[in-house]
Amino acid sequence: MDHALMIYPHSDRRPVPELDPEVDRLGHLLNDLERIQAERHPTETDLSKAPTLENWCIAERRTIALAGVVTGHPTIPNGRTVCTSDLWIVAPSLGYARTLNRLYALGSRHHLSDRWDFR
């Protein structure tokens, strides 16, 4: 699966088993981050089993997100136009979207957003 595009359009309250691989993947990431947070960094043995990157540099990549005017955000003033973190689930008919960082209640849609056939 291509992990650059993680949008799960959803229109009802049924279970979403398609999320199972992502839940597993993010669970592994969370475990690693918690270990590093507790100063248990990867060991030489861990690194010997990991792929190696040579001639590496920091890179940027495109991802799908939502943009709009936000209200009630914990750190961004009301009325600001924002671009969210990576979009994971969008359920307009249920009134919400979940990004990597937080849950958003969805208000009105921008008129140009009709190219996405989310119901």
Over residues 40-69, the pLDDT tens digits come to 999 999 988 888 888 888 777 788 889 999
| pLDDT (mean) for 62-86 | 91
Task: Provide the mean pLDDT of the chain.
Answer: 84
Confidence at residue 113, expressed as pLDDT on a 0 to 100 scale: 61
Q: Which residue has the higher pLDDT, 83 or 52?
A: 83
Q: Which residue, 115, 95, 94, 117, is CA-closest to 106? A: 95
Confidence at residue 94, expressed as pLDDT on a 0 to 100 scale: 86
pTM for the predicted model, two decimal places = 0.67
Determine which of 9-18, 26-35, 51-60, 72-81 has the lowest per-residue pLDDT on average: 51-60
Confidence at residue 63, expressed as pLDDT on a 0 to 100 scale: 86
4: pLDDT strictly greater than 80: no
Spatial contact of 28 and 34, defined as CB atoms under 8 Å apart: no
> Which residues are paired to 118 by β-bridges?
none
Q: Where are the domains of the chain?
A: 8-49+63-115
10: pLDDT strictly greater than 70: yes
